[in-house]
Structure formats: C-alpha cells, structure tokens
Structure 1
Amino acid sequence: MYTIGQVASFLGVSRDTLKYYEEKELVKPKHDAENGYRKYNAYDIHDVITTNFYRELDFEIKKIQEIRQSKSVADLEHVLTQQEAKILEEIAYKKHLLEKVKSVKEDYYKVKEYLGKFTVTEMKPLEVKGEITGYAAYEEYETIRNNTDSLKKAVTLMSASRVIDFDEEGMKANRFIVVRNIEDTDKDIEGEVLAHPKCIYTVIEDGRFVNGEKDIDHEVGDSLLKIAKENGYELIGKAYINILLTTYEETLERVFLEMYAPIK
C-alpha cells in the first residue's frame, strides 16, 4: 500500500490532482480508519495511470467517467474516432488562427513601412459580398456576419471596405462594401470582382487620438491629388480604404487605414 505523497511522487501528479480524481470517483483509495490517510493499492495506481492516459488524449473528465462505467472495445473505438475528429477540427482552427496572426503581423509591417509614405502597387482581386450604409449601421451587420471569414463568426470590420469617389473639387460619394480576398483556386465567385493592377498605396492614421472626432474625408482626397500631381499619375477618382490595425494610446484609439487609389 502507498500513501498519496508516494503515489504523487512516482506518477508525477500533484496531490490535488489525485484528490480531484477521487472526488470524480475515477480512483477509490481506501482510507485508514484510525488516521484517515489514503492508502493506494496496485489497482488504484492503475486507475490513476489510466485516467492520466485519457487526460493525455484530451478527454474531458465526464467522458472518462463514461468510459470507466463500462465501454466495450467497439464502444471505445467510437469514442476514439469522435476524439480524433474533434482534435482534427481544433488543429484546422489553430492553423487558421495562425494564418490570421501572420496576416495581422503583415498589416503591422505595412503601417511601419508606408505610414505617411506611398508606393504604386496592385490591389489584389476582391469579391464584393454585400453592402452596408456605414460602420455605424449596426442593424446591417448581419451582412458582415454572413460573409466574413471571422474565426468566431463574430462581427469584425476587417472585411468591410470604404469606397470613395472624388475629383479635384472634393469627395462626390462614398459607400461601404463587404469583401473577401479571392484566392487563385477560387472557382465559385458570385459577386462583383474588384481588381486594379496599378494603384497609389499608402497608410494613413485616423482615430480620436490624432483627430478627435474630426472628419478627415477632405484630407484623403487632397493627399491623393497631391501625390498624383507631384508624380505624374492620373487618378480614376476612386479610393478603397480598409482598416489595418486599431490600438490605443492614452485610452484613445489609433486607427491605421490602408488606401488604394487606382491610376490609369
């Protein structure tokens, strides 16, 4: 017979874990009638090892209890198949999450490189999945939810793009569209496709930290016209603005936006 301390030591588990297993009736050591100390025999130790085995496979305690309540080999195969499917789903989710993190890091590098600067580049193809009247049109966010690649299927504004029409006199119109990136392997494209091989690309900052609640629309058009004039580009009078990152300073948000302005 072994004490709880001895079992904890040679099995590499804590006393609290052993007590928890006992509470869940996964192991049932005898208690000394005189001093109340737990006494573990070889079968008890085997029960702890078996429980550890299933915990290692990421089975929940409730599922281990079900297995312990009598599962045939055939039943166990079904349980293991279910767990395999669950783990594969989690792996796929983690891979998707990793790609998201990498994408946000790329956005950070865009901010670092192009804030207040510009280059000429392609705006990669986007499929238009819907339209909303504005970022504050909360009742319309179902359009975003239904057409987003958000991991949690919650509303984020990363898939919403603002489209501005302007000329030398200023902004003429603007709208908000819900878009998704088109991959090379995409075959089933239902919505309008936006693609521009040459655009002025820059990153600008908005948000209450730098602008209070001031409207910067006129600044967007003015800055594009200035860049185009100084470098001999002919704009088509349209700009696409996407949110890259939002962070906070002195409790006020700093919003970094990327802007594509197609040129002829």
Structure 2
Amino acid sequence: MYTIGQVAGFLGVSRDTLKYYEEKGLVQPKHDETNGYRKYNQFDIHDVITTNFYRELDLEIKRIQEIKNSNEMDDLKHVLEEKEAEILKELAYKKLLLKKIKSVKEDCVKIREQLGKYTIKEMKPLKVEGELSDYTAYNEYEIIRNNTEKMKKAVTLTSARRVIHFDSDEIKMDKFIVVSKLDDTAQNHNGEVLAHPKCIYMVLENGRAVNGGKNIDDEVGEKLFEIARENGYELLGIGYINILLTTYVEGIERVFLEMYCPIK
C-alpha cells in the first residue's frame, strides 16, 4: 500500500490531481480509519496510470467516466479510433507547417543570393487553378483557400502570380492567377499548365520601406530589356511575378518578389 505522497512522487502527478481523480470517481483508494490517510493499492495505481493516459489524449472527465463505467470493449475502441483520427489530422497539418517553414527558409536564402542579380532558370510546371482580378481583391481569395494547401488561419500568396504581357513600349495586359505546382507536364491534367524551360530570373525588392509603395514596373522593365539587349536574349513578352517574402524595417514593409521572364 502507498500513500498519496508516494503515488504522486513516482507517477509524477500532484496531490491535487489525485484528489481530483478521486472526487470524480476515477480512482477510489481506501482511507485509513484511524487517521483518514489514503492508501493506494496496485489497482488504484493502475486506475491513475490509465486516467493519465486518457487525459493525455485530451479526453474530458465525463468521457473517461463513461469508459470506466462501460463493460463494452468496443466503446473504448471507438473512442481511441476517434482520437487517432484527430491526431493524424493534426500531424498532417504539422507536416504542412514544416513544409511551409522550409519553403520560407529557402526563400530567405534565395533573396540573399539572388537580390539585384539575374540568372537563366527554368520555370517549373504550374497548373492554373483560377484567376483573381488583383492581389487586393480580398473577396476573391476563396479560390486561394480552395485550390492550394490550406493553413488553419493564414492565407498565403505563394500560389498567386501576377502575369504581365508586354512589348518594348509598355505593359499590354496585366492579370493575376492562382497556381499549384506540378511534378512534370507529362501527367494528364485538366486545365492550363504553364512551363518555360528558359527564363530570365530575378529577385526584386519593393514595398513602402524601399520606394514608398510606388509602381516599379518601369524600373523593372528597363532592367529586363537591358539584360536581354546586352546578352542577346529574345524576350517572349510575358513575365510571371510571385511574392516571396515580406519583412519590415521599423514597421514598414519590405516586399521581395521573384520574376520569371521566358526567353527563346
């Protein structure tokens, strides 16, 4: 037989927790008639261990009481299956969070290495899921939530692309699309798939901390044509711009973008 203090010590629970379990009928140690002290036998200790397990599963006390008072093994099996499904769902979400963290870390490296430079790079296949009228058309963001990997609270714009069509004089068309990544273009997919083997790739900086939020299209266009002219690249007159990351300088946004401009 063990005292409440001993049980609390070797099971790592507080005396108050053990008293609470007793109050709820989850453990019923005998009380010494001479001094009123609780005496826990091996079965009482099993009750505490089992109750702790159920509490670790975030089962409510009422549910634990139901399990304890049920004679059906299937009742316990059903409860465990429910918790298993919840945990698997949470694990899937945590994996998504880890994937997002990895992606943002990679974007940080990309910004550090590519900002202010350019390279020739493939734009990997993207499936077009829909179209937005603008990044600021927040009432249209349902298409982002429905067609991309979901976060519980956050709407991320990594799946949105600004698409510009241009010539040497001006931007001819400007639209915003929602995309999802594909492994390759050989798969059978319904809808439009974008893929370009050779692009001028640049990381750009925008935002109020940099330029007060003014339009940088002309500046970017001049840089793009300069690169093409100096290297003999023939632009296809289209560009895809993606928001990589937003950071802050004294509370004012620095927005980093990546741009793919296909060439022949």
TM-score when scaled to structure 1?
0.87
CA pair 32-61 structure 1, distance change in 2 beyond 3 A: farther
Equivalence for 2:179: 179
**1: CA distance, partners of 2:3 / 2:105:** 52
CA pair 49-200 structure 1, distance change in 2 beyond 3 A: same
C-alpha displacement of 1:84? 2.9
Q: Is the 8 A contact 2:3 2:40 kept in 1?
A: no
**More divergent stretch after superposition (89-98 vs 142-151):** 89-98
Q: Is the 8 A contact 2:185 2:193 kept in 1?
A: no
C-alpha displacement of 1:185? 9.3
Name the SS for the 1:175 alignment partner.
strand
Unaligned 5+ segments in structure 2 are: none
Equivalence for 2:52: 52
1:61 aligns to 2:60 (yes or no): yes
Per-residue CA shift, 1:37-58, capped at 9, x if unaligned?
A: 76242243222111123345x2
Per-residue CA shift, 1:160-208, capped at 9, x if unaligned?
A: 1001122222322211011111124984522211111000011011111
C-alpha displacement of 1:91? 2.8
**More divergent stretch after superposition (209-218 vs 39-48):** 39-48
What number of residue pairs does the alignment pair up?
262
Per-residue CA shift, 1:227-255, capped at 9, x if unaligned?
A: 11122211111110001111222111111
1:26 aligns to 2:32 (yes or no): no
Q: Is the 8 A contact 1:166 1:221 kept in 2?
A: no
- The share of aligned pairs that are identical, in percent, is 65
**2: CA distance, partners of 1:71 / 1:142:** 48
Per-residue CA shift, 1:125-173, capped at 9, x if unaligned?
A: 1111111111111222222222222233753211110011222223222
**2: CA distance, partners of 1:168 / 1:96:** 42
Q: Is the 8 A contact 1:145 1:154 kept in 2?
A: no
CA pair 53-117 structure 1, distance change in 2 beyond 3 A: same
Equivalence for 1:41: 40
C-alpha displacement of 1:115? 0.7
TM-score when scaled to structure 2?
0.87
**1: CA distance, partners of 2:19 / 2:249:** 47
Q: Is the 8 A contact 2:3 2:38 kept in 1?
A: yes
C-alpha displacement of 1:25? 4.2
CA pair 24-104 structure 1, distance change in 2 beyond 3 A: farther
Question: Which residue identity does 1:145 align to in structure 2?
Answer: R
Unaligned 5+ segments in structure 1 are: none
CA pair 186-33 structure 1, distance change in 2 beyond 3 A: farther
Equivalence for 1:238: 238
